[in-house]
Structure 1
């Protein structure tokens, strides 16, 4: 099955919303990679929310791989002195031409370029967190199948008719149609089995992960803090200064973790005034 497809903005928005909710439920490991079965579950949720959409777990895996490559490039720039975030233009910016040329020279194949709009970056900071290694996500996708004892779609087989003389075009068409239907049924049955396995333990798993997640709340919040501050367009020196002070204050970090994205800029403004 082809893993590439054209995505529209609405589909991207639904995809990221689902992933953001899953991250909040603890399906992302502490290392940043997603837990086994995530891509199958995401594809299932997208089919529920967008009637008629033709999407499978392989499409999700391929899309996130491309998004992560672009996110990683932006992340590298945001962690390089001289780069910043323009919230109005929704892009990574750099004013110093020498710094720009040096970065481009070192990253000729970067998916994300300076001064090019990348409005998804702030949301991807939440989705990917600290996970920047482009290979780890592909690994977790394979594990999602292997850990359940089910075959990947790439290993699908279909029944072949006994050897016989070359059939007429009408017979060949009929045989091909039967094979396609069998493959489709096999794929659908496989997906249904995977989803059934995930759903069986989903509520229990989420409950347990939430319990475990409480102990990691501050650790995760501290790890994401610099990226979130950079996404607000703050100069890198301010990002460092705020991060170094805020992570030491447990009470303030507790407040920070309860705020949504629209409230955090006001919090930082008040916090900076108190410095």
Structure 2
């Protein structure tokens, strides 16, 4: 799903107010193309995932905007911040402190409103290709769990 959203951003489907009408059907068609028997629907599956991603993105954006906050030095996509600062951001951060956030950079491209990043459609195409390559190779960090590369897990990745 992340790769498809990056494609849509690169092709002008995103504006300051969100995505154009029909983007959910584009995502559904992309998932159906990869996994014809998945049964993933725009509503409720994709809209639910998009809501969760936006909620997490907004909380992480508020956290990352704080002075002295960033990823830790271990390369595991965890945010280096003390427990008191987590609690001061919003109620959604209650479950965030020790989780890995490998999609943060992708979410910035998808949900961010900053037009001054210098990113081009080609950059976003490259990012989408990278996400697809990671998924195809079974390389995906998710909550520090290891999952073998099998169809149910891949379907879960697509809707994440």
Q: TM-score, normalised by structure 1?
A: 0.40
Alignment match of 2:78 (pick from 91, 103, 108): 91
Residue in 2 aligned with 1:202?
none
> Which structure 1 residue ranges, 4+ long, deviate > 3 Å from structure 2?
256-261
In 1, Cα distance between equivalents of 2:94 and 2:48: 15
5+ long unaligned stretches in structure 1: 1-14, 131-218, 226-252, 262-275
User: Match of 2:133?
Assistant: none
Query: Which runs of 5 or more residues in structure 2 are unaligned?
Result: 128-160
Aligned to 1:125: 108
Change (3 A) 1:114 1:82: farther
- The residue correspondences of 1:22-171 to structure 2 (distance < 5 A) are 22-29=8-15, 31-58=16-43, 59-86=45-72, 88-94=75-81, 97=82, 100-110=83-93, 113-130=96-113
CA shift in 2, pair 1:21/1:39, >3 Å: same
1:175-216 deviations in Å (ceiling 9; x for gaps): xxxxxxxxxxxxxxxxxxxxxxxxxxxxxxxxxxxxxxxxxx
Residue 118 of structure 1 and its aligned partner are, at CA, apart by 1.1
Paired residues, what number?
122
Structure 2 contact 62–89 (Cα < 8 Å) conserved: no
CA distance in 1, matches of 2:103, 2:95: 11
1-structure distance, mates of 2:94, 2:17? 20
Structural RMSD (CA): 2.3
Higher helix fraction (1 or 2) = 1
- Give 1:103 deviation, angstroms: 3.7
CA distance in 2, matches of 1:111, 1:123: 22
Looking at CA atoms only, which structure, 1 or 2, has the larger radius of gyration? 1
Partner-residue secondary structure (3-state), 1:109: helix
* Superposed displacement of residue 41, structure 1: 1.8
